Amino acid sequence: MITFPSNFDWGIASSAYQIEGGYDADGKGLSIWDAFAREPGRIAGGGTGEIGCGHYYRWKDDVKLIAELGVKSYRFSTSWSRIFPTGTGKVNPAGLDFYDRLVDGLLEVGVEPVVNLYHYDLPLALYEKGGWMNRDTAEAYVEYARLMFERLGDRVRRWITVNDVRGTLLGGYVTGERAPGRRGELPLAVQGWHIMNVACARAVEQWREIGGGKGEIGSVMGVLPVYPLDDSDESKRLADTLWLFYNDAFLSPILCGGYPKELLATLEKASLMPEISGEDLSVLKRGVSDFIGISYYTPMRVAPKSNANFSNPMDSFERVVVAPVTASGWEIYPQGIYDTIMRIHNTYHPKIYIGETGGAFPDNQLDGNMVVDDDRISFLYSHFAQVKRAMDDGADVNGIHVWSLLDNFEWQQGFTKGFGLIRFDHSTLERYPKKSAHWYREVIENNGLLS
């Protein structure tokens, strides 16, 4: 048996736009995802999060399911535009009341609420004024964060400032796969990620002022371990550059309060340096996080393009996917989570949580209403085992949040791919725990993996 420490935090995760629905209920404003998902051709299968999983209306049922899983904590995000319909200014009391009830409901069943303030869903009104490229957005975010700390901070002890700066900005402004769906605008993405980093550091300061040191605050980052496809020096150098650009660019501000010199040199060479104001670097230094949440799904294997533009790191490589893969077409490589943890541990020595891990699988084998998802169980088992291996090798890993609670709206994949431990029936909104949900409950009860 592979046994974990007695205080290890076994958890489950979701996010607001992906499960809540109620997109315009009780005074909620629109987010960039509300607008993006309505555009034809953006979402596989044409789905939106307007109804989602109906969690806004069925949260009590979902809290019962969370309790039945046996998890110690539940990570969810709050919808900024449900609190501030236009991103700033007038508060929507109904939005605050919803999260009040959810937090209290979780605590009543013995589940710790872990609150993530931002998971891709920028209020549309702020995007229309420039989004994360406008420093007023950072001001609005800090206003929003402070309000949430004041309202929920007496009961919530673990906070996440933002989920995945990289996915927000590169996905939204370079590849166009995610809201707001713009392509090829890398300079804007770099400026936006810097302003978001500064905003998060200011939120950390706010929490320490309001929370008085009771609890902890950090960020969750999607991390891609980058491997050279061959042993050539050129491929190895490329992999190192891409790790710097895709990972350290976002980890270093959170954990060290600044940017790596090598990154700044790369950005300078590519004419991509963001505008950094006089106070920005001081703010980053003061707002170093208490922990980092690592989200890991798949690695990136790269080789140089024959016509590579090496001044632009995102246009310098070919990516090759190696079998086996999930239903999303993502390579299954459990050692990648070990390599990721250890590289971050050896570089930064932080307190770590696994913010997300999981996979989409066909889920086409049913036993009555229960999905028999042995492939998902195998995926989770192998990744959990690699997390424990990293812990045995010295990494300070304190918990895992499995993605995800329900088969929810999976961004550009819509409802065509299911990651949930609980099946969601779109026609009835009913929930049915999968075999993996029962397996995960046993893992938690045993505090480890049975061989």
What SS3 class is residue 389? helix
How open is the CA angle 329-333-339, to the nearest 5 degrees?
135
Question: Does residue 112 surpass a pLDDT of 90?
Answer: yes
Contact of 395 with 338, CB cutoff 8 Å: no
Question: Taking the complete model, does pTM exceed 0.85, yes or no?
Answer: yes
Longest dimension (CA), the chain: 62
Mean pLDDT is lowest, of 144-158, 234-248, 308-322, 389-403, for: 308-322
Contact of 255 with 201, CB cutoff 8 Å: no
Q: Mean pLDDT in the chain?
A: 96
Question: Does residue 311 surpass a pLDDT of 80?
Answer: no
- Pull the structure tokens for residue 258: 């600044």
| pLDDT for 87 | 98
At 57-109, the pLDDT tens digits run 999 999 999 999 999 999 999 999 999 999 999 999 999 999 999 999 999 99
| pLDDT for 306 | 83
What H or E segment, with its residue span, contains residue 301? strand 300-304
| pLDDT for 212 | 77
What SS3 class is residue 36? helix
Contact of 443 with 402, CB cutoff 8 Å: no
| pLDDT for 310 | 61
Share of the chain above pLDDT 70, in %: 99
| pLDDT for 205 | 97
Mean pLDDT of 129-145: 98
Question: Does residue 451 surpass a pLDDT of 90?
Answer: no
Domains of the chain: 2-449 (3.20.20.80)
At 351-385, the pLDDT tens digits run 999 999 999 999 999 999 999 999 999 999 999 99
**Residue 315 confidence class, pLDDT cut points 50, 70, 90:** confident
**Residue 422 confidence class, pLDDT cut points 50, 70, 90:** very high
**Residue 312 confidence class, pLDDT cut points 50, 70, 90:** confident
| pLDDT for 426 | 87
